[in-house]
Structure 1
Amino acid sequence: MKYENMVEGTFIERPNRFIAHALINENMEVCHVKNTGRCKELLIPGSKVYLEKNNNSNRKTKYSLISVNKSGRLINMDSNAPNKAVHEWLKEGNLFSDITLIRPETKYNNSRFDFYVEHGNKKTFIEVKGVTLEEDGIVRFPDAPTIRGVKHIYELCEAKKDGYEAYVIFVIQMKDVKYFMPNYSTHKEFGDALIEARKSGVQILAFDCQVTKESMKLSDEVEVKL
C-alpha cells in the first residue's frame, strides 16, 4: 500500500488520542493521528515523523501522522494500514494460491472479522491485528487492554468448531524484529485467549513489513511465542 503527498516533520506533543502537534517547515501544525493506541514509546517529543498531506479542504487537519523514526527504525503507526496490506497480500496469492473470494468486514455470530476468504472448497475467517509496540527487537500486542480483541479470538475458536478455517494475522508494522509474543503485562486475558485459540486449531501468524516513508508491504514471517 502506498501514500501520497508525504512530508517530514518533528513531533512536539499529543494533546489527546486523535491529534498531535508537529513542526512542519517551521510551522506548528495540528495533525490527525491514525492510531488511537497509547504509542507512548513512539511519539516522543523531537522524533522525526512522516505525514500525509490531505487535499480535502473540508477536513479540520491538513496532515495525517503515518510513521515515526524510532532510534533509526521506521515504524508505520497507521491503524488502517495492516488491513490494506493484508488485502493486497491475499490478492497476490501469498496465503492461498486458489482464492476465489475475498470479502472484507464479514459478520459471524456476534463479531465482524476483517476478512472472509474462500479458496478451493474451504471457507476461512481472518482477523488482522497491527503491532507497533517494540522493545529490543521483541514485538508485543496489545499496547492497551482490548476486550474486543479477546472476544474476536474466542469467536474464531467457535468458527473453527463450526468447520471454518480460522486465522489471526499479526502485522508487525516495522522490519527486522526477533519474535512476537502477547503483551501479558498489559492484558493477560488476550494472551490466554491466543493459547486457547491455538489449541482449538486457529492458525496464529505474524509477519513483519517493509516500511518506507511512502509505503508498507507485508514481508517475512516472524516467530510467534505464546
Structure 2
Amino acid sequence: MKYTNIVQGIFIKRVNRFIAHVLINHKEHIVHVKNTGRCKELLIAGAVVILEPARTPERKTAFSLIAVYKGERLINMDSQVPNHVVFEAMQAGGIPEISVVRAMKKEVTYGNSRFDIYFESDHQQNFIEVKGVTLEEEGIVMFPDAPTSRGTKHIYEMIKAVEAGYGGTIFFLIQMKDVHYFRPNVVRDPEFAQALTLAAAKGVKLLAYDSVVHEDEIVLGDRVPIFL
C-alpha cells in the first residue's frame, strides 16, 4: 500500500486515542492518530513521525499520523493498512500458505463477528482475521499492547467457523522489519493468549509475517515464527 505527499514531524503529545500534537515545519499541528491502541512505547515526546495530508479538505485535522521511528526502525501505525497489505499479497499470490484463491472479498460477517477477509479455495470457504502488531521489545513482537475483548471474541468466533467446516486463519501482520519471533502478550492480555492457544489446538491456522515499511509504502515481508 502506498501513500502520497507524506511529511515528517516531531511528536509532542497525545491528547486521546484519536488526537495528537505534532511539530511540522516548526509549527504545532493537531493531527489525527490512525491507531487507537495505546502505543505508549512508540508515541513519546521527540519521536520522528510520518504524516499523511487529509484526503478531504473539510476534515478538522489536516494530517494523519501513520508511522513512527523507534530508533532507526520505522513502524507503521495506520490500523487500516494491515488488511490492505494482506489482501494485496493474496491477490498477487505472495503468501505460500494461502496459495489457491478462487474468489475473495473484504469484511464478511459470520456469526456475531465481521472477519477481515473471505476467500474460496478449491474445496473450502475460508475466513481470515488480520491483526496489526506494533509492540516490539528486543526483537520480540507481541499482540495486543492492551487488553482487547473484541480481539478475543474474534478468536472464539473463528474457532466456531472452523468447527462448522470453514477454513480459518488468524494473521498477525507485524508492522516493521527485522524481528525475531511473535508471541501473544500473555502479561497484558492473558485471556487473548489463552484463546489463541485454544484456536491453534482447534485447527485455526496462525500466521505471522513482518512488513517492509518505507515512509510512503508498506508491503508484505517474510514469515516470522510464532511461539505460544
TM-score range, shorter chain: over 0.9
Deviation at 1:223, TM superposition (A): 0.4
Q: Which sections of structure 2, spanning at least 5 residues, go unmatched? A: none
3-state DSSP of counterpart to 2:102:
strand
Deviation at 1:72, TM superposition (A): 0.8
AA at the equivalent of 2:37? G
User: Distance between the aligned counterparts of 1:39 and 1:203, measured in 2?
Assistant: 27
1:10-25 to structure 2, matched below 5 A, reads 10-25=10-25
Aligned residues: 226
AA at the equivalent of 2:134? T
Deviations 1:196-219 (A, max 9, x none): 000001000100000000011111
1:178 alignment partner in structure 2: 180
1:85 alignment partner in structure 2: 85
AA at the equivalent of 1:56? T
3-state DSSP of counterpart to 1:22:
strand
Q: Percent identity?
A: 54
AA at the equivalent of 1:176? D
3-state DSSP of counterpart to 2:141:
strand
3-state DSSP of counterpart to 1:208:
strand
1:120 alignment partner in structure 2: 122
AA at the equivalent of 2:32? H
1:210-225 to structure 2, matched below 5 A, reads 210-225=212-227
2:200 alignment partner in structure 1: 198
1:1-226 to structure 2, matched below 5 A, reads 1-95=1-95, 96-226=98-228
User: Distance between the aligned counterparts of 1:38 and 1:70, measured in 2?
Assistant: 15
| Structure 1 residues 158 and 19: alpha-carbon distance in aligned structure 2, compared to 1, 3 A threshold | same
Q: Which sections of structure 1, spanning at least 5 residues, go unmatched? A: none
TM-score, length basis structure 2: 0.97
Question: Which segment drifts farther, 169-178 or 119-128?
Answer: 119-128
AA at the equivalent of 2:172? F
TM-score, length basis structure 1: 0.98
Deviation at 1:109, TM superposition (A): 1.1
| Structure 1 residues 80 and 55: alpha-carbon distance in aligned structure 2, compared to 1, 3 A threshold | closer
AA at the equivalent of 2:53? K
Deviation at 1:57, TM superposition (A): 1.4
User: Distance between the aligned counterparts of 1:185 and 1:110, measured in 2?
Assistant: 27
Deviations 1:52-75 (A, max 9, x none): 012421000110001001011000
AA at the equivalent of 1:17? R
User: Distance between the aligned counterparts of 2:160 and 2:94, measured in 1?
Assistant: 25
AA at the equivalent of 1:58? E
User: Distance between the aligned counterparts of 1:55 and 1:223, measured in 2?
Assistant: 37
3-state DSSP of counterpart to 2:99:
coil
